[in-house]
Each structure stands twice: as C-alpha cells, then as structure tokens.
C-alpha cells in the first residue's frame, strides 16, 4: 500500500494562497514506526516535519483572521496537554513525540489536536460559519462506512494517511488525518472504524478540561471492539458539538452525538437484528434529545445534504443489497 504525493509548490498558508490551486495524485501513506507511543509519534513528526509546520501555519493564520491570537492558542495548548495526559497517557506521549520529531513546541501540537474546538471559538466570535463540512454514511448490510470531507481547499495538500503499528494493547490502524493530528477518519485491525462530523450549537461548547474530538476519535480507533469504543467515549471528559460514527466489521454501528457535556447514541437498537437501512449524518443533530439545539444553523446546507443522502439510500433499496457501490 505504498503511495507518494506530488507536493505542490508554495505554502498552504492562507495568506496569498487564493491564486494557487493545490493538487495531489495520491495521498501519502506514512508508516509510523516505533515500539512506544513516543517513538511512533517521533516517526510521524520526523517524516512529516514540513507538512506539520504548514498545518500549524494554516491554523495560526485562520485563528488570527478571526481574532484568536497566538498567546491564547498557547494557553489552550498548555492546558490541553494536561487534559489529554489525564485521559490517555499513551496518546499524550505520542503527541509529544510528534512535536519533538517535527521540531516544534509540545504545546503547539496539543493545541493542534484541539483545532476543532479552537476554531469553534474563533468563528463564533467573528459570527462566521465554517467554510465547508461533511457527510458520513453507514451501510450495515455491507459493513461499509464512508464520508466526504469538504474543508478549506488550502488544506488539500496536507492530508495524509498514517499507518500506525501495534503498540502494547493498541491495534494496528490506518487513519486519514492532517499532518500532526493523531487521528480522524480511520479503521483498525479489529474492524472498528470511525467517521466524524462537526456539529453546531448556539454557543461554542468547549473547555480546556475536555478531551478534543480528534483525540476522542483516536481513542475509539485504539479499541478492540465497538463496545469498548462506546465505553471509552461515554467515560471521557467532553464538552463539544460533534458526531462520531463508529462501526464494526459485523455491520453494527453507533451514531454518537455530543452536545456540550451530554451524549446520545443511535444504532444500538439494531444489534442482533436483520441489517437496517443505511444511515447518513451531516452537520446537524438527529437525536430527539437535542432537537432545537441547532435550529438556527444550516451549515453548508446540512439539512438538504441529509435529505439528499437519504433519498439516494431509498432509491438504492436502503443499502441492503450488500454492494459496496450501492450508495455511489
């Protein structure tokens, strides 16, 4: 599964990038080697040193555009270092390894793990929506999960696939992510997969004492079963607006919605039954418990996208045919 990327000329910094079109033929697949979490992170940071620097530059520019200064980012990063370590010492060690390998301050990489939360604060202050988002789909009949990720095009050149080895009890895994971030969309050797959709409430729900959503996604990927992943998310200190889609090779799934410190889960009711129709999730809440939380938000036409995805699912027989291309 070797792959190479054609790295575009120039920088991914948001300053002056408007006239540049970033293209790549293949996503780079990076083998992160090591026998400890720190060594694995160091391998990540060393191999992707330039991309990590570009990713940090991209987000620093975006924060500043919305009135969120570098000193404030540092304060968050230093606080998140303690939060992540209390939640998962292994993930904290890996983040520190990424920073050391990339030659960056450790607080910068902890702040990068929390970029969703920091952007939520910055965009809320500026009264602006996020520039683009995503749709995820789960097809239980074929045990397939998938999503698109419509983010700022300047980030296109910085997306990578990390191949992470077994380490202690942690399974081998693949994760598509941004250079420097230890997890996002992925799949592990036990067949546990994750997708992620940002959600919005009337206020940015976050706290430096809460585990960032990218760390939650990575923690789920480190689990040996769907039940273990669900338990990890239930027990985590959390304060965010996010949806994590979890699924396993048996076709079972969990749609986990976080609303501040609350959590609601859909999908468990189908365990042991005939495969249910495929399900889609976009960027608004679906669980009745959170009805009205984001009533004023239509981020990137989230409700229209959800309706269209469900129409396609129905047109394809509910995705029950077991064909991986049924929802294409």
> Residue 6: enclosing H or E segment and its boundaries?
none
60, 67, 150, 226, 257 from 267: Cα distances, Å = 38, 40, 25, 11, 12
Which residues in the chain land under pLDDT 70? Answer: 1-25, 128-132, 202-205, 295-299, 318-328
pLDDT in tens, 213-272: 999 999 999 999 999 999 999 999 988 889 999 999 999 999 999 998 899 999 988 887
Give the single-character DSSP code of 92. Answer: H
Cβ atoms of 142 and 251 within 8 Å: the answer is yes
Give the single-character DSSP code of 28. Answer: P
38, 131, 143, 153, 236 from 107: Cα distances, Å = 15, 26, 38, 26, 21
Token pair of 148 as six digits: 């698109």
In whole angstroms, what is the distance from residue 211 CA to residue 66 CA? 23
In whole angstroms, what is the distance from residue 191 CA to residue 189 CA? 5
301: left (phi over 0), alpha (psi -120 to 50) or beta: left
What is the SS3 assignment for 212-254? Answer: CHHHHHHHHHCCCCHHHHHHHHHHCCCCEEEEEEEECCCCCEE
What burial letters (b/e) apply to 275-309, b meaning 16+ CB within 10 Å? bbbbbbbbbbbbbeebeebbeebebbebeebbeeb
Whole-number pLDDT of residue 299: 65
Whole-number pLDDT of residue 225: 96
**Is residue 277 helix, strand or coil?**
coil
In whole angstroms, what is the distance from residue 207 CA to residue 224 CA? 29
Whole-number pLDDT of residue 222: 97
Identify the bridge partners of residue 146 per DSSP, sorted by sequence position.
137
Whole-number pLDDT of residue 7: 36
Whole-number pLDDT of residue 74: 97
Residue 257 phi/psi, 5° resolution? -105, 130
Nearest CA among 306, 311, 308, 261 for reference residue 283: 306
Question: How many C-beta atoms lie closer than 10 Å to residue 266's C-beta?
Answer: 18
Beta carbons within 8 Å of 104's beta carbon, 6+ residues apart: 45, 52, 53, 56
> Residue 66: enclosing H or E segment and its boundaries?
none
In whole angstroms, what is the distance from residue 322 CA to residue 143 CA? 8
Beta carbons within 8 Å of 173's beta carbon, 6+ residues apart: 163, 164, 186, 187, 188, 189, 221, 222
Whole-number pLDDT of residue 3: 33
Beta carbons within 8 Å of 213's beta carbon, 6+ residues apart: 116, 117, 196, 198, 240, 242, 244, 258
238: left (phi over 0), alpha (psi -120 to 50) or beta: beta
Model pTM score:
0.88
Beta carbons within 8 Å of 302's beta carbon, 6+ residues apart: 133, 282, 283, 284
Give the single-character DSSP code of 114. Answer: T
Question: What crossing angle do the helices spanning 213-221 and 115-126 adopt, rounded to 10°?
Answer: 150
């Amino acid at each position: 599964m070797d792959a190479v990327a054609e790295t575009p000329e120039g920088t991914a910094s948001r300053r002056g990038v408007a006239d540049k079109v970033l293209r790549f033929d293949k996503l780079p697949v990076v083998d992160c080697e090591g026998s400890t979490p720190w060594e694995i992170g160091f391998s990540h940071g060393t191999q992707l040193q330039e991309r990590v620097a570009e990713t940090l530059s991209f987000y620093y520019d975006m924060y500043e555009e919305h009135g969120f200064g570098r000193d404030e980012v540092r304060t968050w990063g230093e606080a998140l270092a303690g939060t992540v370590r209390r939640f998962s010492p292994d993930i904290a060690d890996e983040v520190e390894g990424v920073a050391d390998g990339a030659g960056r301050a450790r607080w910068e990489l902890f702040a990068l793990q929390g970029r969703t939360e920091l952007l939520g604060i910055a965009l809320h202050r500026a009264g602006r929506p996020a520039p683009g988002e995503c749709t995820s789909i789960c097809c239980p009949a074929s045990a397939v999960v998938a999503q698109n990720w419509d983010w700022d095009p300047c980030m296109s050149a910085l997306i990578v696939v990390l191949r992470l080895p077994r380490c202690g009890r942690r399974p081998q895994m693949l994760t598509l992510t941004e250079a420097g971030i230890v997890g996002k969309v992925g799949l592990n050797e036990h067949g546990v997969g994750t997708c992620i959709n940002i959600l919005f409430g009337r206020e940015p729900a976050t706290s430096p004492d809460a585990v960032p959503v990218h760390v939650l996604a990575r923690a789920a990927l480190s689990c040996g079963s769907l039940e273990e992943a669900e338990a990890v998310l239930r027990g985590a200190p959390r304060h965010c607006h996010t949806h994590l889609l979890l699924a396993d090779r048996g076709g079972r799934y969990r749609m986990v919605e976080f609303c501040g410190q609350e959590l609601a889960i859909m999908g468990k009711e189908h365990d042991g039954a005939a495969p249910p129709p495929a399900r889609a999730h976009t960027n608004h809440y679906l669980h009745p418990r959170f009805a009205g939380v984001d009533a004023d938000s239509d981020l990137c036409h989230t409700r229209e996208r959800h309706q269209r995805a469900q129409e396609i699912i129905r047109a394809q027989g509910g995705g029950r045919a077991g064909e991986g291309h049924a929802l294409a």
